[in-house]
Structure 1
């Protein structure tokens, strides 16, 4: 009969691998870092395989450790769920959702109540993250991105969006496309680590308009949400994704000048690690989020 490694040893490994250090695991488990090291070494000796490379004071997962981590994480999550149920506490599934910062600030946070109402009580951790995100270390269940970034995990395209010139009412109610260059423009940049966002230069070029240096002047923001807020404040015309500006167009805080949309180069994508894909709450949130994104992008206000 095969002798199984100790549960405490496996727990020490999972915590250290997820947190990235023995010290962090020791704090989580309320033991010393030396105890964590001894527990992990005992597991390695029993299995006959190294789980960490120990380089100076750093630890790096070996190939065996990388293979074990997601399976152990899922196992300990299941043990925790069973423990809560047997302990008599009402079971509340936990869901870790990661989205771009602009989506976390307002767009998704304002809509989560709809999911909770339809699905029931759930403990949701909403994270606004730039790419890349550490799926296993942070136990992320589902990640929404602009464009595919994580082909090592199951990823699907969910909807194609566009950017629309938008501004506050009164600023450009009757302006024609060629007249946009004379208005204050709001530029959006996602920085060197972000995806390439369409610029006003791209928009004027697609519309067949020679804007010259006017396309480079104006305000700028490094997030889609900030650019949208500047437009709502009446400070200029922004190029906003439909998913963000549809609600403001519907309630009249923004209007669309008589100007064409410019389709984004990439779709929005959902990534769900295999360790999370079989969980009912993840499957329910996936379908709800896809439906919500498609409903907003298909708003009549964007046609």
Structure 2
């Protein structure tokens, strides 16, 4: 880490001059005088102890060092601009920040978002999906819905749904003989070793096959006909309804618990309460056609 950084204004002046090939045009773009741009670049060259431009009269051209710095500076300024724009999300009066896993967001939440929007159009929901469990004490998050989370300080904790797992595949794969079916492997509970211990039923699973760390991608692979997989009943509801996934047997085994974390500052927020109530109802409908709790 550098102990001292060149001023951001000098980097902006350098980037504009390098991109436009002119100190004069850079000054116009940044609403500065040409002498101010020249001074910024001279200061930057003095800091770096090497020239960034070849100067010939009014024309300028980048040195090799200038070309190198330009790519770095443009990437940095672009990333900074994106980060600053993103901060505007926190100023929205009706913003509700929800953290969840990519698999839950894609396979369960997304198909039902229209329903939530119709019921609560006033809520500006920001879905922040991550593979990593968030730290609710340090991150600006109102709610978290995950199957890999436990209680945290500054938060209330509630188990919403006890998931079940079952072996399934695309209907086209059912027509294949067991040796012809590729076995799709997942991690944690979705590994076939868990099925072997809990259910003890041979559905033609093999040790070899394709391996996935993301349960959502594992479900996608099964729905696309790549092979048989041990999948979540909760996440596969839409796939079952769409007819792209069928169980190999009617048995199922225990899966992970889906839990809700609510930050203390959001517990009395009407928007958070509305989303939590809607979530609870939809996670545990009175009946799930085609799903069996099994053994």
1:272 corresponds to = 262
Q: 1:133, CA displacement in angstroms? A: 0.7
Cα 1:122/1:200, change in 2 over 3 Å: same
Q: Sort the Cα spacing of 1:106 and 1:205 in 2 relative to 1 into closer, same or farther, 3 A.
A: closer
Find the aligned partners of 1:182 and 1:260 in 2 and give their Cα distance.
Answer: 22
Task: Give yes or no for contact 2:111–2:238 (8 Å, CA) kept in 1.
Answer: no
The DSSP-based 3-state class of the residue aligned with 2:236 is: helix
Q: How far does residue 228 in structure 1 lie from its aligned partner after superposition?
A: 0.9
Tell me whether 1:165 sits opposite 2:167 in the alignment: yes
- Cα distance between partner residues in 2 of 1:113 and 1:211: 37
The gaps in structure 2 that reach 5 residues or longer are 6-90
Matched, 1:257 2:248: yes
Unpaired runs of 5+ residues, structure 1, are 1-22, 24-79, 82-91, 190-195
TM-score for both structures, normalised by structure 2? 0.62
- Tell me the equivalent position of 1:118: 119
Q: 2:231 aligns with which of 236, 240, 248?
A: 240
* 8 A Cα contact 2:142 2:263, kept in partner: yes
* Deviation (angstroms), 1:132: 2.8
- Specify the SS of the correspondent of 1:244: coil
1:57-76 map, 5 Å:
none
Find the aligned partners of 2:220 and 2:157 in 1 and give their Cα distance.
31
8 Å CA contact retained: 1:228, 1:238: yes
1:252 to 1:209, Cα distance in 2 relative to 1, 3 A: closer
Aligned to 1:186: 184
Provide the rounded CA distance (Å) in 1 between the counterparts of 2:263 and 2:128: 16
Counterpart CA distance in 1 for 2:259 and 2:190 is 18
> Is the CA contact (8 Å cut-off) linking 1:201 and 1:216 kept in structure 2?
no
**CA distance, structure 2, for counterparts of residue 109 and residue 97 of structure 1:** 13
Q: Which has the larger radius of gyration?
A: 2
Aligned residues: 205
Task: Give me the whole-angstrom Cα distance separating, in 2, the residues matched to 1:238 and 1:202.
Answer: 12
Deviation per residue, 1:233-279 (Å, 9 max, x gap):
11101111011112211221111112421111x41110001111010
Q: Secondary structure at the match of 1:243?
A: coil
Residues 99, 143 of structure 1: 8 Å contact kept: yes
Asked whether the equivalents of residues 158 and 268 of structure 1 are also in contact (C-alpha less than 8 Å), the reply is yes
Pair 1:291–1:181, CA change in 2 (3 A): farther
- Are 2:202 and 1:201 equivalent residues in the alignment? no
Q: CA deviation at 1:181?
A: 7.2
For each residue in 1:59-116, what CA deviation from the matched residue of structure 2 results, as whole angstroms up to 9, or x when unmatched?
A: xxxxxxxxxxxxxxxxxxxxx78xxxxxxxxxx5110000012112343123222112
Partner Cα distance (1:262, 1:180) in 2: 21
- Preserved contact between residue 169 and residue 223 of structure 2 (Cα < 8 Å): yes
* Matched-pair contact (CA < 8 Å) for 1:143–1:271: yes
CA RMSD of aligned residues (A): 3.0
Which residue number corresponds to residue 98 of structure 1? 99
Partner of 1:287: 277
Q: Deviations over 1:180-205 (max 9, x none)?
A: 6773211112xxxxxx3231122123
Give the distance between the partners of 2:279 and 2:234, measured in 1 at CA.
12
TM (norm. structure 1) is 0.60
CA contact (8 A) 2:107 2:235 kept: no
- Name the CA distance, whole Å, in 2 between partners of 1:246 and 1:129: 22
Give the deviation of 1:131 after TM superposition. Answer: 3.4
Cα pair 1:141 1:276 within 8 Å, conserved: yes
Name segments (4+ residues, structure 1) moved above 4 Å: 179-182, 209-212
Change (3 A) 1:140 1:181: farther
Aligned partners of 2:106 and 2:216 also within 8 Å:
yes
